Amino acid sequence: MSAAPAIDGLDRLVVPFDDGPRAHDALLELVGDRRLVLLGEASHGSAEFYRERAHITRRLIEERGFTAVAVEADWPDAYRVNRYVRGESADPDGVSALADFRRFPSWMWRNTEVVEFVEWLRGWNLHRQPEGRAGFYGVDLYSLRSSMEAVVDYLQAVDPVAAAQARTRYGCFDHVRAEGPEYGHAVALDLMVPCENEVVAQLIDLRHRSADLLAQDGWAARDAYFFAERNAQLVHNAEHYYRAMYRGRISSWNLRDRHMAETVEALLAHLSGRDGPAKVVVWAHNSHVGDARATELGSQGELTLGQLVRTRWHDEALLVGFTTDTGTVTAASEWGGPAERKQMRPAMASSWESSFHAVPRERFLLPLVDRPPWSDAVLLERAIGVIYRPDTERVSHWFHARMAQQFDAVIHLDHTTAVEPLERTSLWDSGEAPETYPTGL
């Protein structure tokens, strides 16, 4: 893709908003009666992205009947939060409910903004019947080990014989004591036989037992089975994903986003009932929420959750991206590294972010449902995940995109600040490390 010239007339299309309670009226008008709203983020470490998504989600729950928040997090870790917000756990507070988010990057969900939203969601739910409460779910697939443990724990409570059989099947993974990447590496080197047959057998067996396992009446039994079945499906998908990691980035990426889409679909089916079709709001990175067909990555074969949702749900889904120009961000310098509070470089020239920065508004909504005349325009777009490498900024964090086709709307916050981790590190407290540290990235 080649870069397009600057976008003329952009300032006439934007809808400015403030911090007031009606800040997102224009966005809710775009939502209308849609069943799926996907809310993105340009980084995993900007407080304002979390805060705005929380404000929007509160209104979707209060005013539009949404009953689930599905986030870019592991299913079993998020389900502990789900039990807390639904009043079904012994956790004394939101911080405790988030305790299972131990894997890097823990700050992505163990941060002050998420705690505040979780506490609000619990307060909202406690005034409602169980069937009408809003849940908190994870759509990612990294939790190979903890999902296996969750399946066994569920079966141990309802069918100890089946639990013993599940332990035997999942024992296939005991050749590698660590998590999924080590399993994938061992298979790639022919150091062990893949466990695909075992995880498929366990998933099929659990589904065959569904009638007996659901013999108890009531929401609790149905929800407990759903949790276990999704974990068994996750083990199946994660087993494929970790083997695909060593076959190429696009292959594993596509498996991951297909899993996300499949989980959202399962949530919609599970939560729909006597009160009508369920509605779900999704929190994930722009790189998942946006439609890959409008990006240079899509031209290389990559697909995304947003693309899959659009293909399946059409006008019942709304894809919302978030952008920023500059500020600070919580990120690591390398995978597994400590959380740092880093200074973001200003947006690059010939980028969507620099075009938005030129608009004389600090915060605005850009509706794109009715495609503007420049919908084919291609500019650079920034993506910061859990790692930020300003010394390799262009290569590491920018790609070309037709943003007017990638999203149905974009929220721009010109200056953003680093999200505050619950476990602050010395690097985070001290702020930005010198730009030359670490070197060689």
Tens of pLDDT along 20-62?
878 899 999 999 999 999 999 999 999 999 999 999 999 999 9
411: its two tokens: 């929220």
Whether residues 177 and 232 fall in one domain? yes
pLDDT for the residue numbered 46: 98
Residue with tokens 């929190």: 283
Whether residues 255 and 289 fall in one domain? no
**For the chain, what is the domain count?**
2
Whether residues 287 and 411 fall in one domain? yes
pLDDT for the residue numbered 267: 96
Whether residues 409 and 430 fall in one domain? yes
- Residue 168, in any domain of the structure: yes
Residue 363's domain comprises 1-66+279-441
Q: pLDDT (tens digit, 9 = 90+) per residue, 219-267?
A: 778 889 999 999 999 999 999 999 998 877 778 999 999 999 999 999 9
Whether residues 238 and 158 fall in one domain? yes
Q: What DSSP designation does 436 have? A: T
User: Can you give the pTM of this predicted structure?
Assistant: 0.94
Cβ-proximal residues to 292 (8 Å cutoff; 6+ apart), any chain:
298, 302, 303, 304, 306, 307
Element (H, E) at 219: helix 219-244
- Residue 320, in any domain of the structure: yes
Whether residues 328 and 341 fall in one domain? yes
According to DSSP, the β-strands at 340-344 and 317-323 are unpaired
Print burial letters for 4-26: b (CB count within 10 Å at least 16), e (below 16): eeebeebeebbbebeeeeebbeb
Whether residues 58 and 203 fall in one domain? no
CA gap 91, 101 in Å, rounded: 14
Band the pLDDT of 178: cuts 50, 70, 90: low
Whether residues 212 and 168 fall in one domain? yes
Whether residues 338 and 384 fall in one domain? yes
Strand order in 340-344's β-sheet?
340-344, 326-331, 415-416
Whether residues 337 and 434 fall in one domain? yes
pLDDT for the residue numbered 222: 86
pLDDT of 438 > 70? The answer is no
Residue with tokens 């409910």: 97
Whether residues 315 and 244 fall in one domain? no
Q: 94, 119 in Cβ contact below 8 A?
A: yes
CA gap 37, 316 in Å, rounded: 9
Band the pLDDT of 422: cuts 50, 70, 90: very high
The percent helix, strand, coil of the chain (3-state, each to 5) is 50, 15, 35
Whether residues 356 and 258 fall in one domain? no
**% of the chain exceeding 70 in pLDDT:** 95
Element (H, E) at 401: strand 398-401
> By C-alpha distance, which of 392, 417, 366 is closest to 9?
366
- Residue 113, in any domain of the structure: no
433: its two tokens: 């490390």
Please, what is the Cα angle at 274 between 272 and 275, to 5 degrees? 75
Residue with tokens 């919908």: 375
